[in-house]
Amino acid sequence: MGLMIAGVFHIEDPAPDSTLDGEFRRQASTVRNALPDGALESGRFHLYAAWNCPWAHRVLLVRAIKGLHDLISVAYAEPRRTEDGWVYSDGADEVYGATALHHAYARVSPAYTGRITVPLLWDRAQNSAVSNESADLVRMLGTLPGHGPNLAPPEKLNQIDVWNEKIYARLNNGVYRAGFARTQEAYEVGFRDVFATLDEIEAHLANGRYLCGDKLTEADLRLFPTLARFDVAYHYAFKCNLRRLIDYPNLWGYARELYALPGIAETVKFEIYKQGYFSPSELRNPLGIVPLGPDIDWTTPHDRDRLTTRSGNA
C-alpha cells in the first residue's frame, strides 16, 4: 500500500513497527472527518477504491444498497499494486487525473504522513478529504437520510456494534492475522479466531435471517466482503483451510442471499481477488502463480426466505 512521510511517498515503511511476537497489527486510519452538513448534491463525492480491498468493498456495498451512485463517483485501482502503490485503470482517475493514490493523499496535506490506503472519500465541493476509515464511512453513508434504508437504526445499534466489534477483530482482520503471521503461534491464534467466529455465526444464522434480525444492517455488509473472498483467497493464500464457506450451510445460504440483492453482485470480482491475493510475495507466493479454481456458483437458490426471526435476536 505504501505510505507518505512529510509528503514523500515510500513504497515500503523505512521504520516498520516491531513484530517480535510475529503478530500482524493493522495501523489506525489517519483521515477521519464527518460528512458536511446540509444538502448533498449529485456528484459531490468521489471515492478512491480498489476492487480487491475488503475495506473499500464495505463502502461500495453501502453505495449500492443506499442507491448513492449519483452522489458518489468511484475510481477503481488496478488489482495489483506497483512501485507507485495503488494505481488507476487507464492511467488516471476521472476527477483529478491522479495516476496513483498517493497523488490524492498529497492533496490532503502537503506534508501528509500516514498509510496510503483505500477507501478514501473526497468532497469535491470543499476540495478536501472526508475519511479513509471504512467503518466511519459505512456508518455515515449508511444512515444518510433520504437515500434508501437506514442501515444502523437506533433500536439496533447495540446489536450492530457487538457484531461489528467481534467480526472485525476475529474474522475481517482475523484472516489477515493468520495470513500475515510471522510465527506458528501467531498464525494459530488468528486461525482459531477465524473459525470460532464462523462457527458462531453459522449457529446464529440457523434461526435468523440476518445478523441483527429480519432486516439487513451494516453488520451484514461489514461481514460480506470476508465471505466473498474466503473460498477464492483466504482459504488458500492465508492458510485459513479448516473449512470453506461452502461447508457452512447457513453461512453459505446467507452469503448467496446477500449476493442476490440488487447491486451487490456488481461489487464482487472473484478473479480480481485472486490476482490480488496471489500476487508475487516472498513470504506467501514467491512465484506469483494465480490458481484457476475454485469453481463456485454463487447464483444457486439460497432458500433463506423460509426463515422467520424473533424480535431482538442478537
Between CA 188 and CA 173 the distance in angstroms is 14
Give the active site residue among 76, 88, 112, 176: 176
SS3 at position 100: strand
Active site residue 248: no
Give the active site residue among 48, 53, 210, 254: 53
Region label for 116, one of left (φ > 0), alpha (ψ between -120 and 50) or beta (otherwise) = beta
217: its cell numbers:
444492517
* SS3 annotation, 137-168: HHHHHHCCCCCCCCCCCHHHHHHHHHHHHHHH
- Contact between residue 220 and residue 258 where contact means Cβ atoms under 8 Å apart: yes
Q: Which amino acid is at 57?
A: H
Do the bridges between strand 72-77 and strand 45-50 make them parallel or antiparallel, or are there none, so unpaired?
parallel
Active site residue 176: yes
Between CA 55 and CA 225 the distance in angstroms is 8
Q: How many CA atoms lie within 13 A of 203 on its CB side?
A: 6
Which positions are catalytic? Answer: 53, 176
